[in-house]
Amino acid sequence: SFIAIKPDGVQRGLIGPIISRFEARGYKLAAIKLMTASQEHLEKHYEDLSSKPFFPGLIKYMGSGPICAMVWEGRDAVKTGRGTFSAPPSPLPHPP
């Protein structure tokens, strides 16, 4: 399963703690790459969201700095990642 740590997570030094949490849950890290994604790459990756009003902001945000792209082996890794690392809902507007 593909999991990406977004630019703010990389900037805040969360790569190590996030990897530790996944490993503690029994997932195996199969691949990892620190990269700054190009606009073209991001537009293709998020193509299914291209008609949404937040799409331009999403592309700008995800290209604003390095991301940590990872592939994890294990059942429901994406679901676990979203449930474990997503921020709680906020009444204030925030970037996607």
Q: Tens digits of per-residue pLDDT, 39-55?
A: 999 999 999 999 999 99
Say how far apart CA 95 and CA 9 lie, in whole Å: 13
Q: How far apart are CA 80 and CA 77, in angstroms?
A: 5
Residue, of 96 and 74, whose pLDDT is higher: 74
Range 49-65 average pLDDT: 97
Domain positions in the chain:
2-85
Whether the pTM exceeds 0.95: the reply is no
- Window from 12-16, 44-48, 92-96 with minimum mean pLDDT: 92-96
Mean pLDDT of the chain: 87
Distances (CA, A) of 37 to 19, 22, 33, 64, 68: 20, 23, 11, 9, 10
CATH number of the domain at 2-85, out of 3.30.70.141, 3.40.640.10, 3.40.190.10, 3.30.390.10? Answer: 3.30.70.141
- CA distance readout (Å), 65 to 8, 10, 59: 8, 8, 11
- Give the per-residue pLDDT at 94: 45
